[in-house]
């Protein structure tokens, strides 16, 4: 283990650079320390084993479920064993919902039944208990198009929302963002148009028979109609069949059900800073996941990245200047109540105490090879972060782009002054092959790529801790 004194010797000459106006911090001491981070993560890393425990011993962690509670207890244990100064749970009321045991859909063409691959969208109501829904279909590519159709073409039917993710966008997250409105608001739009239910093309570029679930919502004053994800292969097939057989019918049967909210919470570990303990750097991922896989990429990877930052920095003898908060957020998938609750507490701290939340980092884009960071910060902080590109270059981490840093830390943008926020950005070309599907399992995460992500995440924490300008608050 590298001792604290050795580390301090390395960085003792760097403090005068902390406020350097040109932010040129390509220092040999930084490079040496970052090399130690990567060496520790790659040679003695525990992220992969932690992910195996989380996914195989606990499994999915749907908000409100017993397995989510088990994961909270597991996370507390790991944070304590890795040496956090304090560990606690921030209570959060979360939704409780089950998809049940039935999710069936069938296309009926000239009396022949053709089974379809579906799964309930998160939060959907079930179909009537006495019999499946059975109706003709109408296909649309957008919510607006549905609202433009004559009432007689929609009323009493099932709606197929069939807009694919844009294949020409290199940024798959942008392609996802351009299609996901039909999943989130499809049931509302269908009900407003007089339809009795909705099928939504799965949010993935992959052409396969795997339905991808995800969150949807209802609105007060609008009927709640059932909504299900349909595999991309079936969505394309069904669209073609509708052209040839416009009178085909589809049956839909699901027994999903919502229960009253339950109390769970954000699991938080804190490592108190040695120089600026009132300045908080938050880092984390979300502990909850959808229930048809194991939540390995989404967001087990982000959870073990977060835990590994604590372990690695302790192992190589680092002493943080600022207080580091390791947060395992709850309920990102279907409400983001964990992130919102954390931000409310931060706002109260800003108003009533001397605590200042100066930076936040999130890992919620999978366990693939890291490419860089999405930066959500003011111009001066963005310039500082982008000046670190040469320090990341030996590890093939090159992208330092402005963009959304993450859902869980997003509500912290409301703070004044606004914290600098970073989202770890792995290669995303295969992410949506697994996202929210039964294939988001441990076996589909690559050990070395996961470890590289953890080291990249830890490096960003180190650099923010060392070189962010002080908030000016006196402890």
- End-to-end CA distance of the chain, in Å? 31
Domain match, 299 and 325 both: yes
Domain boundary among 255, 284, 300: 255
Q: Are 20 and 129 in the same domain?
A: no
Q: Is the pLDDT of residue 5 over 60?
A: no
The side-by-side arrangement of strands in the sheet containing 86-98 is: 86-98, 257-271, 322-329, 276-286, 356-362, 420-426, 370-376, 399-402
Given a contact cutoff of 8 angstroms between Cβ atoms, the answer to whether 376 and 404 are in contact is: yes
**Omega before 185 within 30 of 0, i.e. cis:** no
Asked if residue 474 is part of any domain, the answer here is no
Alpha-carbon gap, residue 173 to 377, rounded angstroms: 20
475 part of a folded domain: no
Q: Are residues 86 and 10 in the same domain?
A: yes
Residue 428 and residue 343 share a domain: yes
Domain annotation covers residue 331: yes
Cross-strand pairs, 121: none
pLDDT per residue as tens digits for the range 105-121? 999 999 999 999 999 99
Residue count (the chain): 475
In this predicted structure, what is the pLDDT of residue 19?
Answer: 39
Which among 211, 227, 255 is the end of a domain?
255
Residue 381's Cβ-side half-sphere holds a number of Cα atoms within 13 Å equal to: 23
Q: Are residues 321 and 202 in the same domain?
A: no
Question: Rounded mean pLDDT of 258-281?
Answer: 98
Looking at residue 157, what is its pLDDT?
97
Is 473 within a domain?
Answer: no
Same domain, 165 and 205: yes
The answer on 169 and 45 residing in a single domain is: no
Q: Answer yes or no: are the C-beta atoms of 171 and 200 closer than 8 Å.
A: no
pLDDT digits (tens, 9 = 90+) for 375-412: 999 999 999 999 999 999 999 999 999 999 999 999 99
Same domain, 276 and 390: yes
CATH number at residue 320: 3.40.630.10
Edge-first strand order for the sheet with 249-254 is 112-116, 103-109, 249-254, 133-140, 158-161, 197-201, 227-230, 118-120
Q: Are residues 219 and 190 part of one domain?
A: yes
Q: Which of 209, 236, 255 is the last residue of a domain?
A: 255
> Each residue of 175-232: pLDDT tens digit?
999 999 999 999 999 999 999 999 999 999 999 999 999 999 999 999 999 999 999 9
Beta bridge partners of 424: 373
What pLDDT score does 12 carry?
Answer: 40
Average pLDDT, the chain: 93
Mean per-residue pLDDT, 451-467: 98
Q: Judge if 213 and 344 occupy the same domain.
A: no
Global confidence as pTM: 0.92
For residue 140, give the CATH number of its domain: 3.50.30.30
**Reported confidence tier of residue 27, pLDDT bands at 50, 70, 90:** low
Q: What is the mean pLDDT of residues 133-144?
A: 96
Q: How far is CA 217 from CA 131, 214, 255, 295, 450, in A?
A: 24, 10, 17, 21, 33
If one counts the domains in the chain, the total is 2
pLDDT band of 242, cuts 50, 70, 90:
very high
Asked whether residue 79 carries a pLDDT value surpassing 90, the answer given is yes
d(CA 189, CA 178): 17
CB 364 within 8 A of CB 407: yes
CA dist 187 and 217 (Å) reads 8
Q: Does residue 105 contact residue 228 with C-beta atoms inside 8 Å?
A: yes
Instruction: Tell me which residue range forms the domain holding 86.
Output: 4-97+260-467
Co-location of 251 and 271 in the same domain: no
The lowest-confidence range among 7-11, 44-48, 309-313, 422-426 is 7-11
Q: pLDDT-derived band of residue 261, with 50, 70 and 90 as boundaries?
A: very high
pLDDT of residue 334: 95
Domain for residue 456, yes or no?
A: yes
Q: Is pLDDT of 13 > 70?
A: no
Enter the tokens of residue 295. 């939540």
Confidence of residue 130 (pLDDT cuts 50, 70, 90): confident
Residue 8 lies in a domain: yes
Section 294-321 average pLDDT: 98
Indicate whether 222 belongs to any domain: yes
Residue 203 lies in a domain: yes
pLDDT greater than 50 at residue 66: yes
Is 14 strand, coil or helix?
A: coil
Confidence label for 25 from pLDDT (cuts 50, 70 and 90): very low
pLDDT tops 50 at residue 6 = no
Whether residue 354 is found in the same domain as residue 315: yes
pLDDT band (50, 70, 90) for residue 131: confident
Confidence of residue 374 (pLDDT cuts 50, 70, 90): very high
């Amino acid at each position: 283990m590298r001792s604290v004194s050795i580390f301090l010797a390395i960085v003792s000459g760097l403090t005068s650079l902390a406020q350097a106006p040109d932010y040129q911090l390509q220092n040999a001491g930084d490079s040496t320390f970052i090399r130690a981070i990567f060496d520790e993560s790659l040679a003695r890393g525990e992220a992969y084993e932690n992910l195996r425990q989380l996914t195989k011993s606990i499994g999915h962690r749907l908000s409100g479920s017993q397995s989510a509670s088990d994961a909270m207890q597991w996370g507390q244990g790991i944070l304590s064993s890795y040496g956090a100064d304090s560990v606690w749970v921030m209570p959060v009321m979360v939704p409780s919902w089950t998809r049940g045991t039935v999710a069936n859909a069938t296309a009926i063409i000239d009396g022949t039944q053709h089974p379809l691959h579906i799964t309930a969208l998160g939060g959907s109501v079930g179909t009537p208990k006495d019999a499946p829904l059975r109706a003709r279909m109408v296909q649309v590519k957008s919510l607006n198009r549905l609202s433009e159709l004559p009432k007689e073409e929609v009323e009493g039917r099932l709606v197929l929302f069939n807009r694919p993710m844009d294949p020409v966008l290199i940024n798959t997250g942008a392609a996802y963002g351009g299609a996901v409105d039909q999943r989130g608001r499809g049931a509302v739009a269908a009900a407003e148009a007089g339809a009795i239910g909705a099928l939504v093309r799965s949010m993935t570029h992959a052409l396969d028979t795997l339905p991808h679930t995800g969150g949807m919502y209802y609105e007060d004053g609008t009927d709640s109609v059932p909504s299900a994800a349909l595999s991309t292969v079936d969505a394309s097939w069904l669209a073609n069949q509708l052209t040839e057989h416009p009178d085909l019918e589809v049956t839909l049967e699901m027994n999903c059900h919502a229960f009253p909210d339950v109390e769970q919470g954000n699991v938080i570990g804190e490592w108190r800073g040695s120089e600026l303990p009132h300045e908080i750097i938050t880092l984390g991922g979300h502990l909850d996941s959808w229930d048809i896989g194991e939540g390995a990429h989404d967001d087990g990877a982000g959870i073990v990245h977060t835990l590994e930052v604590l372990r690695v920095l302790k192992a190589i003898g680092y002493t943080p200047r600022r207080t580091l908060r390791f947060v395992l957020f709850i309920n990102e998938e279907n409400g983001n109540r964990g992130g919102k609750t954390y931000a409310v507490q931060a706002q109260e701290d800003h108003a009533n105490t001397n605590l200042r939340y100066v930076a936040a980092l999130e890992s919620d884009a999978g366990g693939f090879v890291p490419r860089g960071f999405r930066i959500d910060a003011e111009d001066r902080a963005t310039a500082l972060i982008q000046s670190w590109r040469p320090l990341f270059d030996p590890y093939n981490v090159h992208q330092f782009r402005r963009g959304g840093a993450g859902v869980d830390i997003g509500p912290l943008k409301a703070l004044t002054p606004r914290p600098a926020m970073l989202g770890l950005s792995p290669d995303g070309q295969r992410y949506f092959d697994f996202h929210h599907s039964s294939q988001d399992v441990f076996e589909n995460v690559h050990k070395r790529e996961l470890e590289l992500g953890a080291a990249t995440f830890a490096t960003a924490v180190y650099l923010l801790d060392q070189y962010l300008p002080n908030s000016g608050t006196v402890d």
